[in-house]
Amino acid sequence: MSVDTQAIANGLRQRDPELLDLLIEQFQHRLFRYLVFLTGDQALSEDLFQETWIRVMERGHQYNAKSKFESWLFAIARNLVIDVSRRKKMRSLEELADPESNQPFEPPDLQGVSALQMLVARENEQAIQLSLLKIPAYYREVLLLRFHEELGLEEIAAVLATPISTVKSRLYRGLTALKNALPESAPRGAA
Amino acid sequence: MSDNLHTRAQQLLAQSLIEGITAADDAWLRKHLEDCQECREHAAATNNLLRALRAVPIEVPRDLAARTQMRVRLRAQETAGASRSGLVLWSLTAMSWLLGVMSAPLVWRAFAWVGEEFRVPKLALEMGFVLWWTIPALFAVAAVLHQRGVASNAKRF
């Protein structure tokens, strides 16, 4: 059962436990997938998943129903990922906060992302999915939000707290990066 | 067919996925894809790429939602408890401040009487009067800071 945004805003303002339970059930797959895409770490994603919902409960009064609930939810999760990456000095994730300040990206060593590797390694589309691990988290993030979550450009901009032009630029570059990260044997797409 | 046409087709293909294209561009792209096998393969490969992206199998641990629901409820109860005790603390502080203001003339007279009876220097009397006012407020501030410290420790994970 889905709940409309105004009902969500009203319920969150009252810290309605039934509503929170329902939202956790309803958005668990999308939120967890987003966190795993960002962090590449299942255990960390579980912690962040719980912490995200605690923040939703504590700051529910700030949700004004003008945007989709999932955009607000992803923005909270993203800020938590950035906070944690700063605390734990996870450089690859800290770049989420300011990716434009980076040097040109270098594909990370696949050994270092074994958790996500295990999650995405499946038979037929394995090559393409593994190539996701080779591109920076801030490209993975926009690709997920656009092509998996099917959020609009404005909604992605709200999640990332960046201008739409930046979102577009990351999407174009992300598609190119994904194409370039594919192994020679895999089919390559336009980007 | 010139390279420019292929480049344009591939740019439009990416643009159609990311921000959409005009009807005229869409018609041009469709026509080009009908005539150009290379770009058609490119388009198919891009679709495969996005299909694979959508198919990334990430499963939520079976009990994660239940654990989260329980943790959120517990935190909600803790926060509600802290909020109630905070309200009590602020109410008591406000009441003590009000009583302090109302009783100030009486207290000042009492201090003056003690000063005359025991010949206490005026400076000591004034300092005593100031302390009479500030010490309860300092206790209240310390209690609030302590409560906030406890709350922020509980939030850490």
- Shortest Cα distance, chain B CAs vs residue A66, angstroms: 22
Residue type, B60: V
Nearest residue of chain A to residue B6 (CA atoms): A190
| Range B1-16 average pLDDT | 87
Q: Is A54 part of the contact surface with chain B (CB cutoff 8 Å)?
A: yes
Q: Is A43 part of the contact surface with chain B (CB cutoff 8 Å)?
A: no
Rounded Cα–Cα distance for residues A145 and A167 (Å): 10
Task: For B50-64, write each residue's pLDDT tens digit.
Answer: 888 888 878 899 899
Residue B137: pLDDT over 80 = no
**Are A129 and A122 spatial neighbours (Cβ–Cβ below 8 Å)?**
yes
* Among A101, A103, A106, A131, CA closest to A116: A131
The more confident residue out of A84 and A22 is: A22
ipTM of the modeled complex:
0.75
Tokens of B54: 């959508």
Task: For B27-85, write each residue's pLDDT tens digit.
Answer: 999 999 999 999 999 898 888 888 888 888 788 998 999 999 999 999 988 887 766 77
**Are B13 and B29 spatial neighbours (Cβ–Cβ below 8 Å)?**
yes
Q: Is B47 part of the contact surface with chain A (CB cutoff 8 Å)?
A: yes
Rounded Cα–Cα distance for residues A130 and A120 (Å): 7
Contact A189 B18 (CB under 8 A): no
Q: How many residues does chain A have?
A: 191
Task: For A128-185, write each residue's pLDDT tens digit.
Answer: 777 777 888 889 899 999 998 999 999 999 999 999 999 999 999 999 888 887 765 5
Contact B10 A175 (CB under 8 A): no
Rounded Cα–Cα distance for residues A97 and A91 (Å): 10
The CA distances from residue A105 to A102, A143, A172, in Å, are 7, 16, 15
Q: Is A175 part of the contact surface with chain B (CB cutoff 8 Å)?
A: yes
Its pTM stands at 0.70
